[in-house]
Amino acid sequence: MAKPKVALYWNASCGGCEEAWVDLAEDILKVVEAVDIVLWPVAMDFKRKDIEAMEDGEIAVAFLNGAVRTSEQENWSKLLRRKAGVVIAFGSCAHIGGIPGLANFYSKDEVFDAAYGYLPTVDNPDKVEPQTSTKMPEGELELPKIWDRVCALDQVIDVDVDYYLPGCAPPPDLIMDAVTAILSGELPPKGSVLAPDKSLCDTCDRNESKPEKLQITELKRPHLTFMDPEKCFLAEGVLCMGPATRSGCGERCINANMPCRGCFGPTRDVKDQGAKFLSALASIIDINDDEAMDRVLDSLPDPAGLVYMYSLPTSLLRGRVPEKKREKAKVS
Ligand code: SF4
Ligand code: SF4
């Protein structure tokens, strides 16, 4: 019997999600034995035209990692959506926007000014920026267009995502559970996130160390304080996104004595992970005087970047309105 065809693709990705497959260790042999990999740009040489030549739906499952910001990433996502029966958003960037989504705090012009202009490591006196088309004696060179915003995979028009595998990167046990479910045909309802629908605090061993009435009067940064490996970070004044984050990661960061940063995204009923965390934080901060409160807030250098570290593109805010547009909105 022919093996099911599987495609693995990367959009705006750091490559960590590709390594997650290698982290399956010997289990990767079971995957390779059970499926026929027809696309995996990081590891094998397949061509786009080979995928285009396939029938629609011919690929059983496409795992796409990375966020989407360019015309090329959008085109690949749409192509794989057409060719695959099941599309899985693999990893935080495809699921909720991820770290690349933090760029939505800035306009495209601001990002370009930094990347091709004023940053100290940039040597570009003429401020040359990437062009989508450049005529050279040898012919015309083309680069993809860069869109104004970073998107999660399901925010791309016409890309309907069947399942989400969360994490930065997804842990091996969740990947194997997903592969097993796909091969056995025992998949949960379409649209499910393939991880438990509980908050990380519900599964974290340190939860028991929380006092009955949790109250804090200062915020501490992890690298500037001693963190007791047995105690709840929040109870110690170190911000930990556990109350607003889905469990299933195996508490990898917590076990390494680092607070959660939210890469699994929120649970099903939470619309905005950052807002959920801020509401949890507001309920435990025990300060009534404005000056002390300002001091506490000033001790956090980038609060929005912290609470939306992984989920800005899929938050209610989606990002910061670019300065120019905000000016126009004020005028009209
Ligand atoms: S989810 Fe994490 S590991 Fe995967 S591509 Fe994004 S940043 Fe990299
Ligand atoms: S806040 Fe963090 S350390 Fe505390 S119980 Fe929740 S996940 Fe664990």
Break the chain into its structural domains and give their ranges. Answer: 5-99+149-184, 107-147, 200-301
CB 233, CB 196: distance < 8 Å: no
State the pLDDT at residue 332. Answer: 33
Cα of 266 from ligand 2 centre, angstroms: 14
State the pLDDT at residue 329. Answer: 46
State the pLDDT at residue 98. Answer: 98
Nearest CA among 46, 45, 52, 43 for reference residue 78: 52
Task: Give the DSSP H or E segment for 146.
Answer: strand 146-151
Nearest CA to ligand 2 atom 5: 207
Token pair recorded at residue 108: 């495209």
- Cα-based torsion angle of the residue sequence 306, 312, 315, 318 in order, rounded to the nearest 10 degrees: 130
DSSP 192-233: -BSS-SSBHHHH-GGGGGS-SS--BS--B-GGGS---TTS-T
State the pLDDT at residue 287. Answer: 87
Q: Does domain 5-99+149-184 have CATH number 3.40.50.700?
A: yes
Dmax of the chain from CA atoms? 73
State the pLDDT at residue 237. Answer: 94
Q: Which atom of ligand 1 is found nearest the CA of 16?
A: 3
What pTM was estimated for this model as a whole?
0.93
State the pLDDT at residue 299. Answer: 87
> If the chain, 332 residues long, is cut into consecutive pieces of 10 residues, what is the mean pLDDT of each piece?
93 96 90 93 92 97 97 97 97 98 94 94 94 95 95 93 97 95 91 97 95 90 92 96 97 97 97 96 90 87 95 94 56 38
State the pLDDT at residue 331. Answer: 43
Cα of 91 from ligand 1 centre, angstroms: 6
Q: At what angle do helices 27-34 and 172-184 cross, to 10 degrees?
A: 30
Cα of 146 from ligand 2 centre, angstroms: 38
State the pLDDT at residue 212. Answer: 86
